[in-house]
Structure 1
Amino acid sequence: MTIRKNITKRDFIKNAGLTTAAAATATVASPYVIRAQGAPIKWRMQTYAGSALGEHVIKPSIEAFNKAANGEMVIELYYADQLVPQGELFRSVQKGTIDAAQSDDDSAAAPVDVKIFAAYFPFASRYSLDVPALWEWWGLRKIWEEAYGEVEGVTWLSTGAWDPCNFGTTKPIKSVADLKGLRVYMFPTGGQFMQQFGVVPVALPYEDVEVAIQTGELDGVCWCGITEMYTVGWADVLKYYLTNNISGAWAGSYFVNTERWNALPPHLQELFKLSIDNSHYYRAHWYWWGEAHYRTTGGKLELTSIPDAEWQTVADAAVKFWDEAAKISPRCAKVVEILRNYNETMAKAGPPYRCA
């Protein structure tokens, strides 16, 4: 039999006070509230993109990372050529001049055989979803990890999709012949491919492109889709937009200095990976919205098209270009085989994957 002790009001208040004090002490000492000790880890990161484009392709994700890091780490973001020239970007990450980079492997001059497939490898994709599907489900992630595992000082983390690659020009293009002689700002591999049609690829610092178009040094760009042309101001100095593209999506990567990466605690590594995924997701819907929006309501660029039958000659030339790329190395041959199998599968699947 349990004997209940009568508790007076004074005893109740006294005991309640002791309990509250003990709980407060336990809360103060509780280990689950962790605050950053000392100065935060600081990284410098440079993107391939200029400031206007960077506002979309990376800034939101870095701001989210800095906020979520809660004082433990801060990433300082720099835009195209602000710290180092684009062509020296990869080497700068390798040397530790900067800690991380967002860029395609091609224009950053990554010392790997597979860099040719980054940015705009001609006719490798038709839609933005092709890129993550190829990397995450068709084996390209494993190949990229293998390739960059042979390079000291840099860790490759992820590849995602950007926009398609179309011509924006000061002269109308209505046939393949109209491409001849055009001086165009392009990525290295895309420019190499289009030279056979008379295009003259021109390399310039990103921020100089608009002025070069105004002065006539450039006849146009084949660097992006219509979303970027409007976002960065190129639509203000160009007149025409060719709806035929040489690739359905740019493939861009994230690189980090290996020593700095390994020095991060696991939770900050995971947080950075999540910020990359956040950036991939933002671009997916932003570009998908923008490509249709600016074609239909932009109002600054006149749309032109090359007939499908004639444009097929350019697509056929890409097949030969793929054959040459496969000769670079056994690894490149494997990538080309994957691209062929992937595109054959998409064609067999039919709409919406591929249309006749």
Structure 2
Amino acid sequence: MTTRRKFLQTAGVGAMAAPLAAPALASGTIKWRMQTYAGSALAAHVIDPAIEMFNKIAGDRMQIELFYADQLVPTGELFRAMQRGTIDAVQSDDDSMASPTEVTVFGGYFPFASRYSLDVPVLFNQYGLNEIWDEEYSKVGVKHISAGAWDPCHFATKDPINSLADLKGKRIFTFPTAGRFLSQFGVVPVTLPWEDIEVAMQTGELDGVAWSGITEDYTVGWADVTNYFLTNNISGAWAGSFFANMDRWNELPEDLQTLFRVCTDQSHYYRQWWYWGGEANLRVNGTKMQLTSIPDDEWAQVETAAVKFWDEIAAESPTKAKVVEIFRKYNADMQAAGRPYRYG
């Protein structure tokens, strides 16, 4: 934290190298600092290509300096730093960065809100979530630029999980809302800096993670320190977004705003196929973790608990109730549509 504070005080001079090599800049170049929730290995897929593309096209008109998980501020402080203008833009889910909005609880992994990754962009673009997110973030001086899907939420653990009873007492790194939901099954949610997870698994501080699908487990090294992968999941896709300080966003010329949107859309598209293909490939061909499953009739208890959890969240405010109602409507539509949208 001392290093981070020094970095902020010196505006990034000398204390820490930027992940992207900066070109020679014209004196009038717009410069942004952006931090992602992801560590460097994961960022190579979920954000680096998009920012490199933006910088290449924008040239000396604008450059974005990208920082990885916890490099400038801890992930849980990202929202406040962006709101203050210490950071200009952020890639994260609402839940992890602790945004003070009515929609925060739905970011990351809201239990069983989605079955597949395509559910997330449809919910935002066709079922009205974009408008709700825009309104909520505009109230607090932040621009919600776009939301997209990441991977599903599975357990990767040291010991095998073959029943709900096996979850009891397990210390699991997960998201705030997911942890709140899973605690009723005996899971002990643990919050740590992202980069500390692998070591925490090795030292026994953690028994597992419920933070990603199998693609990330392999990409970031967690497959090297866990032995089992549970095929049941509590959500079909992580929901995350790109955000910016509202003043910084409004200062951009319209064409640069459009370019940023195009590059974030490219990022969303990249993740759609990278995760979708990766999840299947590593289940079939991966060699580092053994697959386990909780029987469907037992896992149905978790799905039933999610319905009650939705009711609990909806009772907290009218805005939350509106979002939950959208989830209900969407999932009912998908169920009625049948195959390939929903099975059974």
The verdict on a shared fold, with TM-score over 0.5 as the criterion, is yes
Q: Are positions 1:123 and 2:112 aligned together?
A: yes
Aligned counterpart, 2:309: 321
Structure 2: which 5+ runs fail to align?
Answer: 1-24
Please give the residue correspondences for 1:73-112 in structure 2 after superposition, counting only pairs within 5 Å.
73-112=62-101
- What is the alpha-carbon distance in structure 2 between the residues aligned to residue 233 and residue 39 of structure 1? 41
Query: Which of 62, 71, 78 matches 2:60?
Result: 71
Name the aligned partner's letter for residue 243 of structure 1: T
Aligned counterpart, 2:299: 311
Q: Are positions 1:139 and 2:131 aligned together?
A: no
Report deviation, 1:39: 3.5
Aligned counterpart, 1:187: 175
Report deviation, 1:37: 6.0
- What is the alpha-carbon distance in structure 1 between the residues aligned to residue 103 and residue 253 of structure 2? 30
Please give the residue correspondences for 1:128-277 in structure 2 after superposition, counting only pairs within 5 Å.
128-152=117-141, 154-277=142-265
Where in structure 1 do 4 or more consecutive aligned residues deviate above 2 Å? 36-39
Structure 1: which 5+ runs fail to align?
Answer: 1-35
Output one character per residue of 1:299-345: Cα deviation in whole Å (capped at 9) or x when no partner: 00000000011000000000000001101211110111110111111
Report deviation, 1:160: 0.5
Contact kept in structure 2, 1:134 and 1:140, CA below 8 Å: yes
- What is the alpha-carbon distance in structure 2 between the residues aligned to residue 244 and residue 125 of structure 1? 14
Aligned counterpart, 2:27: 38
- What is the alpha-carbon distance in structure 2 between the residues aligned to residue 174 and residue 134 of structure 1? 32
Output one character per residue of 1:276-295: Cα deviation in whole Å (capped at 9) or x when no partner: 10100000010011001111
Name the aligned partner's letter for residue 73 of structure 1: M
Q: Identical aligned pairs, as a percentage?
A: 65
Report deviation, 1:38: 3.3
Greater C-alpha radius of gyration:
1
- What is the alpha-carbon distance in structure 1 between the residues aligned to residue 151 and residue 41 of structure 2? 15
Aligned counterpart, 1:339: 327
- What is the alpha-carbon distance in structure 2 between the residues aligned to residue 151 and residue 190 of structure 1? 25
SS at match of 1:111: coil
SS at match of 1:230: helix
Aligned counterpart, 2:103: 114
Report deviation, 1:189: 0.0
SS at match of 1:101: strand
Aligned counterpart, 2:280: 292
Name the aligned partner's letter for residue 77 of structure 1: L
Contact kept in structure 2, 1:113 and 1:328, CA below 8 Å: no
- What is the alpha-carbon distance in structure 2 between the residues aligned to residue 149 and residue 73 of structure 1? 24
**Alignment TM-score, normalising by the size of structure 1:** 0.89
Residues 332 and 67 of structure 1: is their aligned pair in 2 closer, same or farther, counting only changes over 3 Å?
same
Contact kept in structure 2, 1:128 and 1:249, CA below 8 Å: yes
Number of residue pairs matched?
Answer: 320
**Alignment TM-score, normalising by the size of structure 2:** 0.92
Report deviation, 1:149: 1.9
Report deviation, 1:40: 1.4
- What is the alpha-carbon distance in structure 1 between the residues aligned to residue 83 and residue 140 of structure 2? 9
SS at match of 2:35: strand
Aligned counterpart, 1:17: none
